[in-house]
Amino acid sequence: MSCESIGIGLVGFGTVGSGVWKTLQENSSLITARTDGAVKLDVRRIAVRDLTKTRDADAPANLFTTDWQAVVEDPSVDLVVELIGGTTTAFDIVAAALRAKKPVVTGNKALLAERGPELFALSAETDTPIHFEAAVAGGIPIIKAVQDSLIGNRIESITGIINGTSNYILERMTEAGLSYQDALQEAQDLGYAEADPTLDVNGWDAAHKAILLATLSYGFPVDPKQVYVRGIEMVRGIDISFAKNLGYVVKLLCVVRAHEDGSIEIRTQPSFIPRTHILASVNGVFNAVALRGDRVGDALFYGRGAGQNPTASSVVADLVEAGRVLRQRSGHHGFLPYRKEGALKSIDDTKTAYYVRFPVTDRPGVIAEIATALAAAGIGISGTHSPVNPSQPDADFVDMVFLLHTCPFGQLKEALKTIESLDCVTDRPVVFRIESLT
């Protein structure tokens, strides 16, 4: 079987775009052979912001333009790949392509998490699909697994480490004893973190991915404003040490969980997870997603969550799928809601045990004052500790650590309001969840 090649328009030719170009150049014959000649992919236009910029791949100069609309409107372009990021111009590009009835491939998790409902509605209206495997966990095929391979399962939970930058920083703090700032600088020097690492370290990059997985798993759009997100900026060496001594490691963890009342829990935050759990061994820039379905049971997806080749691999897989859809005129539209609405569980109603670090004045009675406030809120204490800093044995201010029994997060928040008003507490407490991951 053979057919004419399918024209690709790339909007964005940075790390991932260059990787897509190189993958198609080097593996095009393999792709064609594996599709029995049905899919031949040919990049015909490339839109970039700066034509003079040095790039990682050597594509012919005549393919380049600074006008993304020219790419979308080019009659030789059958599929549009959006790789510029952001949620404004990227939205315009994807919407224009859908209106032109040109299938879209994107790795833009922020765009789909924040404006996905609009785009998926337009996709359905125009009968033109959006493909987005690269939006979550780089080269790990978790989107296809949730959409297709596990379509006969009720997804009970998804627990993931899905931001490589934060994971690298926490590993270096744990294994090399680096401070947060030093580990972040090292990640930037190695190219694992952007010059502006905000979305990685504040938790939102991971949260956008968790929102997409929740949307696909439970069938209704999720409002990011209702999702609880905390990053790793406040993690300190003392927290890492405590986790080690208790048999845990600190990870930026995404939790998506269905509850018996029909509500869906979605949250992202640094957490203590048992060192014996398989997710504890996910280090460096690797990602892992542990999924539990009512039929498949437990499944683990592991691999590189970012980088040129892994992400390009997912983009090219979507291009092949999109090419098949073009040829056969069948296939999914990326996401079609199958529930009109769904309820997110309030973060205040979610329950775990907790590690709480209080910056306090070093004077007698501090433990009793904090313990009294916790007892008044009905929260049990499993342990307390006041670490001594050998370099500052006579410091006026110290960190007091409390380990707390399982309780609703809202109950803890109310207790912390009272504790923060105590004269002995010098700054906001730092809270880590202690996850059982059973």
Residues assigned a catalytic role: 209
Distance of CA 212 to the CA centre of its chain: 9
Question: Closest by alpha carbon to 128, among 326, 321, 272?
Answer: 326
Q: Are 398 and 424 spatial neighbours (Cβ–Cβ below 8 Å)?
A: no
The rounded distance, in Å, linking the Cα atoms of 402 and 399 is 10
Q: Please report how many Cα atoms fall inside a 13 Å half-sphere around the Cα of residue 21, on the Cβ side.
A: 24
Non-local (6+) Cβ contacts of 124 within 8 A are 333, 336
The rounded distance, in Å, linking the Cα atoms of 274 and 278 is 9
The rounded distance, in Å, linking the Cα atoms of 212 and 113 is 6
Q: Tokens 């010098």 — which residue?
A: 426
Question: Closest by alpha carbon to 276, among 252, 253, 246?
Answer: 246
Q: Are 325 and 123 spatial neighbours (Cβ–Cβ below 8 Å)?
A: no
Question: Closest by alpha carbon to 11, among 353, 347, 315, 402?
Answer: 315
DSSP 346: P
* Pairing between β-strand 397-408 and β-strand 381-385 as defined by DSSP bridges: antiparallel
Non-local (6+) Cβ contacts of 135 within 8 A are 106, 107, 108, 109, 112, 143, 209, 212
Q: Where are the beta strands (DSSP E) in 329-389?
A: 351-361, 381-385
> What backbone torsions phi and psi does residue 436 show, to the nearest 5 degrees?
-90, -30
DSSP 63: G
Q: Which tokens hold the place of 57?
A: 């791949």
Q: Where are the beta strands (DSSP E) in 86-171?
A: 104-106, 130-131, 155-161
Non-local (6+) Cβ contacts of 380 within 8 A are 374, 404, 405, 407
The rounded distance, in Å, linking the Cα atoms of 146 and 154 is 10
